[in-house]
Every structure is written in structure tokens, then in C-alpha cells.
Structure 1
Amino acid sequence: MDVLITVTLVIVVALVFDFTNGFHDTANAMATSVATGALKPKVAVLISAVLNLVGAFISTEVAKTVSNGIIKEGPGGVDITPVMIFAGLVGAVLWNLTTWYLGLPSSSTHALFGGLIGAAVIGAGVGSVDFGVVLSKIVVPAVVSPLVAGSVALVATFAAYRMTRNARARGSERGFRYGQTVSASLVSLAHGTNDAQKTMGVITLTLIAAGYQGSGTGPSLWVILACGLAIGLGTYVGGWRIMKTVGKNITDVQSPQGFAAETASAATILISSHLGFALSTTQVTSGSVIGAGLGKRLAIVHWGVVGRIATGWVVTLPAAALVGGVAAFIASTSTVGLVVVAVLAVAGGVTFYTLARRKPISAADVAGSSTAPAASDAALAGEVR
């Protein structure tokens, strides 16, 4: 198949991934604000979509990590081909759709990197991946960032309830809700600076691999704009399934907790974006919500839900790598193989969409006050006094 056609196909699939990243990660910014009633669902996703687009233009450090760091470059250029990148994206998109259907806030970041790593290993060998960069800028931030964000949210929530006498002081609840409008907006802006850049990096890597762009260069303006629009549009669609999990099922989120969680998330993501760390914004926000739950009652977190989320975190990268590797093996055989992978990817997407339509979750299911399910851990919970 002509290289230009393959590159075009990769760019299209990359933007599809960016779109799925948008609706998959809407919950990162707006779940707690919607759950506490600080923002209406449709207003929340509109604000988030616009700020995701704006955030895409703020920095390109993460994009450079993706395009120039993970895949090794040699004298003749990168060792990965557009076909392999296409296969990796297929793995990432299918995993995103799987976890979206399950309402599981897994990492789109790790799905993307897992897919690319699996495809690169199968197509170009283990030596094509710089595992030092993977460890320092992906794995380590994945472990540390949710702990840092969760700790900050825990302390901030504890302090907020202390200062406002468990949020019962006159006007305090309303004040925190107004504050959530700002803090949730900051998370959306931060999300754009981190997650939109990952797709920019993939497209840039494809253009370098195909010889359309010089080795070591950053994303072009049209790439930044296209990725910003794709993730913004996906965000506006609204990932209600995952938003329900983050906003209602992890802990019974109230406005002071939501404000603390969102502020901790925004700070962690923005600092990491500046340093070029391609961290998982999903893990950061989930860690913040857990910390906020602990900060209020010291134990009122539904650990069964947290366990499911943690399992998803652990499984995401290897699962996407497996799908990406298999897709690379098939797509690299011939043009027919490439077409087969494309058809299977479309069929998978249609299947998940059809299944989701049978048990729809809408904005109405996540709006208003949080109603987290009862858990046996709640019996051990004690109000901060």
C-alpha cells in the first residue's frame, strides 16, 4: 500500500483515539463537580471541551516524549513503521472502548503506550523501544502521581472540614461549589496539556517514520489543532459511564472534597506536563478522589470499586500491548492484512457501541448529589471531629 495512504489511515485512527480519549476522560475533570451539583452535566462537558482545546496549545513537552523518546532513533531514522503505529493505535482504541463500556476509569495513556510498545516489539524487535524512557517518564509517574495527588487531596479535605466545622458553617458549602467551577476548569485545561499531546506525538512519530518530517522535530500547528479539536469534541460527547464511577461510586463526594480533589489533580497534571511526563490523568484524578474520601471520614472509600479500578490500571498496558502486537503481526504481512485489522477494529467499535445502547447511561444518571453504593467499609468510618 502507498505510504501516503498508510500515513493518512494512521492519522485518522490517531484522531479517533483522541476522540475516545476525550469522552473516556471527561470524568477526570468534571465527575466530582457534576456529582456534587456544582455544575450541570451539559455545562460541565462544554466547559471541559473548550479548555481541553485551549490546553492543547499550551505545551508540547509530552508530545516530544512520545515522538522522540519511547521509540529509539537510529542513523536511518526511527525503527517503527506507519503500519506498526496503526496497529498500536488499534490496540489502544479497542481497550479504551472496552473500559468505557465497563465504566472503568482506566488509563488512555497506558492503552496508547501499551499498543505502541506491543506493535514495535513485534514489528521491529525489543530493541526498538527505549525502556529507560518508558520507566522514567511513564512507569514511575504512573506509580507516584496518584499517591501524590491523593495525599494532597487528603490533607486539603481534612483541612477544609476542620476550618468549616465539617462544612456546616454558613455559606461554606456554596462557596466550595463555586470553587469547584474553577478547580474543575483547571483540570480540563491540564488534561488538554497532557492527553491531547500524546496523540500529537503519535502523529508526529508517524510523519517522521514516513520521511515527511525531520527526526527530532516537534508537532506542526495543524497537528496541534486537529488533536485539540478531536479531544475537545470527544469530551463534549460526555463519558457518562466512567463519570458515574468516579463521581459516585468511589466515595460519597461532597463539595469540599470535590474542590480538594480537583485542585490536587490540576496541580499534579500541570507540573507533570511541564516536565514532559506522560502520566495518566485518569490515575491522578482517581487517586485524588480516594484521598478526598479518606480526608473526610478517614475510611469512607468503597474499596471494592477501587480494587476494580486498580486492576484495570495494572492490566491496561499489557492488554493493549497484546492487542497491538497481534494487530502488528497481521497488518505487517500484506495490504490484505492491514485491511483485515482495519475491518476488525471497526467491527469491535460497532460492537461496543451496540452493547452500550442496550444499557445506556445518560447525564441524568450522574447529575445531582452523590449516591455512592453502600460498602462494608463504611461501618468503620468516623467523621472528622
Structure 2
Amino acid sequence: MAAPRPPPARLSGVMVPAPIQDLEALRALTALFKEQRNRETAPRTIFQRVLDILKKSSHAVELACRDPSQVEHLTSSLQLITECFRCLRNACIECSVNQNSIRNLDTIGVAVDLILLFRELRVEQESLLTAFRCGLQFLGNIASRNEDSQSVVWVHAFPELFLSCLNHPDKKIVAYSSMILFTSLNSERMKELEENLNIAIDVVEAHQRQPESEWPFLIITDHFLKSPELVKAMYAKMSNQERVTLLDLMIAKIVGDEPLTKDDIPVFLSHAELIASTFVNQCKIVLKLTSEQHADDEEALATIRLLDVLCEMTANTDLLSYLQVFPGLLERVIDLLRLIHVAGNDTANIFSTSGCVKAEGDVSNVAEGFKSHLIRLIGNLCYKNKDNQDKMTANNTEGQRS
């Protein structure tokens, strides 16, 4: 005769099994936590029981990491792990009391360690991916609107978890880890990113691969673009394709539905210095596009995107006055326009027919716009600026003489 089951505990008037020891009981608890009243009245001891199952089940994952032949025997453990994460994830929804109780049990550290083990397994088993995703969702929920939890998540997750997840082939894992990063970032932690630039660049790459995903986009626009120091360090280390992506998002921020705020302007003045100085130093690289063998030169196309940014920056009154007096900018733009005109007349090349190129998100494409953007930038730099208008007149006179 089987041993009698212990009496069930009550959770907000709903009967639930007292010893959470099997998958069925976990699933019942997960379902209960979908309701706010059940989350708010949950006994604290339940979370210790869930954590005990999580720890016990994680031993099987540790064994599989040491002995890959054990991966095929992970099914039951992964089911329990998944349901533990789902249960904890639901318990944290809009409930700071549960967030605090779960955090104080050191559940965050156990979850992060387990997620890193998942990445170490390097298999695409669907049950493993599901557990992986649910673990990240739990970390996102426990950190949501809870600064203490955000701090603990950051301590455990940075940098290894982000380095492991942001370049994962599974889109949901990239999205969920981006959510955790977005939720946890603040001004102090941004400084740590400057020392771990690979994470910041991984976010840009994630946006390249998944432009429809909101979290990498929000990390860049709401965090990265508010740190001129980080942007400068990233730009120096990035590939040219990554630079184009970052510059595209800078443009999106400038021309977005919400205008730049007073707090944004000093930051974007720093960005303007980086963009203008880089363009002044590198703009002649664009002339490489006159050669067929360099027709898709990524460095040249990234430089073209700098011009696009400068055009949008000079359309902003607060940024225009700074760029109008930026050393050598107007002279270099005028000079480049003249060189391109000469190159277009001398040989048959990309500047001689359509007369224009423009870098898009995919830097392998060349489209119309370059000459017109040079002219637009010159016009903006001369707008209501007598000194620049005089420079323009002097350059025109010199050009006619030559």
C-alpha cells in the first residue's frame, strides 16, 4: 500500500501539493502564479522548495558537461528545470515581495550558473533551449523594476552570461539576454562596459542580425548613445559594417519622432566631434570607389555614412552652430566635392553616371545620394554663417581660376 500523501497547503484558497517534488506539482504552482492574488499570498517556503529541485536537477546538467554522452539522458531533469524557472518567472511578475524572497535565497546565482552550463553543452536540443529561454526570462522578471535584484543579477551575470548569450544562434536567447542587459544597465555599469567592449559590440551585431528585436535597439539608443566615451571606444574597435549599423541608429535617434532633449544635446555634441573629426580625416577614402576593385569597399562606405550623419546633425539647430565652426570641415567637404567632380569627368566610374552613392544598412549596397549630401552639408554649414559663406565664395573663385 502506498504511503499517504501529506496534506496539501493552501495558497490563496487554492489547494496545492505541500512537498513540491514532481513535475505535476510544479506545473500546478506555475499556473497558480499567473494570478496576482496567488503571487501576493505565496508562502516564502515554497520558493525554497523550488530552489531545492532546481539545484538537484542541475547536477544532471553538470554531469552532461563533463560527459557529453549523458546529454541524451537529460530529458527529465530539463523538464523539471524548465518548470522551476517558469514557476519562479511567474512568481516575480509585478511582485517585489516575491522578487526579494527569491533573490535572498541566492536563486539568481544558481540560475546564472545553470544557464552558463547550458551554453557549455553546445547542443541545439529543443528541451535544452526551452530551459535556457525560461531561465533567462526568470532573470529578466526578477530584475524588473527592482534595483536590488538588478545589482545581484549584474554581479552574477556580467560579463560571462552576456558574452555567452548575445551571440547565441537562437533568436529568443539573444532577445531575452538583451532584455536582462537593458534592465540592469545604469550609468555606473556603463563604465564597466567600456572595459568589456566585446559585449557592447555584440549588442550591435545582435541588432544587425535581428533588426526587428526591440531590446538590442533600446540598449543602443537608450544607453549606449548616452555615453560618448563608450561610443568613441566602440567605434575604434568595430568593423566597418558594425560602424554603419551604429551610425544608422544615431541617425534614427536624431530624426526620431521625439526631438533631442536638453540632456541629449551635450551628449550629441560629443558625438558630433567624433563624427566630424573622423570624416575630416578619412573622407578621401571615398575616392577608392572610383576603382572597380574597390566598388564595395566597406571602409569607404562607412565613411559615406558619416556624411549622412553630419547632414542630419546640421539640420538640428543646437548641433549646427558647433559643426559650422568645426576646424577644416567645410573646407574638406568642398574639396571632396571638387575631387569627385573631377573623377567623374576623367573616367567611367560610379561617380560619372548616377553621380552619387550612399551607404545603407547593408554596406555592400551602393545607392544614390552622396553628391547631393555633400551639397546639402555645404548648404547647412553656410546657413546664416557669414564666415562660411565667404569661404565658399573664395573657394568658388579659386576653382574658376584653376
Output the TM-score relative to the length of structure 2.
0.19
Q: Which has the larger radius of gyration?
A: 2
Question: Which has the larger share of helix?
Answer: 1
Greater relative contact order (Cα < 8 A, sep 6+): 1
